[in-house]
Structure formats: C-alpha cells, structure tokens
Amino acid sequence: MAIASSPSVVSGSSSDRWQILRLLVTRKTVLISLIVLIVLVGAAALAPWIAPFDPYKLSIMNRLKAPGSLHWFGTDDFGRDVFSRVIYGGRLSLTVGFMVVVLSSALGILLGLVAGFFRGADKVVSRLIDAMMAFPDILLAISLVAALGPSLSNVIIALGIVYAPRLARIVRASTLVIRELPFVEAARALGVPTRRIVTVHVLRNLMSPLLVQGTFTFAYAILAEAGLSFLGVGVSPDIPTWGTMINGGQQYMGTADWIMVFPGIAIVLAVMSLQLVGDGLRDVLDPRLRKEL
C-alpha cells in the first residue's frame, strides 16, 4: 500500500498542475476566454506576418474609409489601416498591461505583507500608501514619467508605482485577517519561522483577491498608458497602441466611430477574457472550490 502510493506522493505537484489545467478548460467560459487571449497575444506577436497593411503608411486618398472588404476595420483620419494598427497596437498595450501588473503586484505584495504582518512597519508603510493614494493616478504617473523621462519602460515603471498602493492595501487587509486565523498560530506552534509563514501560508491564501485586483490593474494600465501618450508623456502618438488609437479617434466619434470602436473592442476582449481566466484560476487554485467544478 505504502509502496504503491509513494510515486503519486512524490510526483504530486506536477500531476496537480495537470489536474488544474484540465479543470480550468472544462468550463466553457474559461476555455473561450483562454482562446481569445491566445488569439490576441498570438496576433500581437505575429503582427508583421498577419497585418495586411503597414500600420504607419499614410494615405490621404483613403482617409476615414468605413470598414469594408479591403480595410476590414476601416481607415483612420490619416488613411492608416485600423485592422493592422489594432494588431500592432496589441504588442505595446498587452506588454504595458502585463508588465504593470507584474511590477505593481511585486511592489504591492511586498509592501502589503510587511504592513500586514509587522505592526511596527505598518505605521510607516500605511502612511506611505495613504500619501501615494492621495495623488490622482494620472497626475502621479505624469510626474513620475516627467522625472524619469518619456519612454515605454518608464511608463511601465511609473504605472507600476502608481497602482502598487491599491494592491498593497488589499494585501495588507487580507493579511491582517489571515494572520489571526488559527492555522497561522498552529504553524507557529509547530516551529515554522515567520518568513515561511508569510511567504507560504499567508501568500497562498491571498491569491483570490490578488487575481481579481490584478485583472483590474491590467485594464487600468492599458487605459492609463493611452492617457499618458495622449498627454505627450507616453509613447509617440504615431506609434499604435489601443489607447492612443482611441484617443486619436475621439474627434471622429460621430462620423467615423470605427477608429475607436475596434481598439475599444480589443481592450474589452483582452480585459474580459483575462478576468474570466483569472476567475477560473482562482476557483481551481482553491481546493475548497475545486470540488464544485
């Protein structure tokens, strides 16, 4: 009995991973969302081969053409192909969204765990978080980019810093709850060191609020990048991102709405499918919810 079961015990973690993936795709909404995400990311990655037109090529003759068989998503005020620009735009928008989530989560988790777990540090860290949240997001981002210099990586750094306090607050609040749960005391009673309690027992239990907030941050970041670019502190306006396209199309909203509708749909699809995948991920990562699937 013991011998028969030991291989499964040893390989428990990797078979667990397969089980999680299998459970994830058994739900239709999650499966569809995953496919949408893969298509969006794949299109962005393979943009030069997929895009029918050069996204930078101006053509005054073809300006403001409605969507048709040649230009599937129409053309913008400079005659550039919207479909190609949406595909290229995904490269920067998805990168910014993803990197900002990674950066702000890393900062937010660190600050939040420290504030939630160590009472003394909480006083300092919480005031710092409050101070940062007192600034309007975009204003703080603008000043940070202005200080760092306008470039894509600085936009990511600035937005990562701007969104970190929200995550830190959520992490701190959840940590304050989790640290008082009996299993944390039980782990202490077994001699588990504080560092391990924080990183293993508390962090794993933070996953669901983090996944939810992470998907929100992803959406915020894509839109904020657009705002920064529009204000001239982000990327140059001729470089396509979903955000800059929406900003550029605003003035033609009444006459040529396709300029902003299609990048808008791209953002909605990306954010919504990410959120649904995040939801599904949360459910399968929590063993208590897993059995209901």
Q: Minimum Å distance from CB 175 to other proteins?
A: 14
The one segment of 49-57, 162-170, 180-188, 216-224 that binds other proteins by CB under 8 A: 180-188
Residue 288 makes contact with other proteins by CB under 8 A: yes
Q: Spell out a b/e string for 182-191, using b for 16 or more CB atoms within 10 Å of the CB, else e.
A: eebeebeeee
Number of residues that bind other proteins (CB under 8 A): 31
DSSP per residue over 60-93, as a string? GGGTTPPS-SSSTT-B-TT--BHHHHHHHHHHHH
Residue 287 makes contact with other proteins by CB under 8 A: yes
**Among residues 193, 231, 253, 265, the one that binds other proteins under rule CB under 8 A:** 193
- Closest alpha carbon to 78 in 98, 94, 64: 64
Contact assessment for residue 92 and residue 239, using Cβ atoms and an 8 Å cutoff: yes
Residue 199 makes contact with other proteins by CB under 8 A: no
Q: Minimum Å distance from CB 11 to other proteins?
A: 9
- Our CA dihedral for 187, 192, 196, 198, rounded to 10 degrees, sits at 40
Residue 12 makes contact with other proteins by CB under 8 A: yes
The one segment of 28-36, 45-53, 189-197, 214-222 that binds other proteins by CB under 8 A: 189-197
Q: What is the C-alpha separation between 205 and 141, in angstroms, rounded?
A: 31
Give the footprint of other proteins on this chain (CB under 8 A): 1-2, 4-6, 8-10, 12, 181-183, 185-193, 196, 200-201, 204-205, 285-288, 291
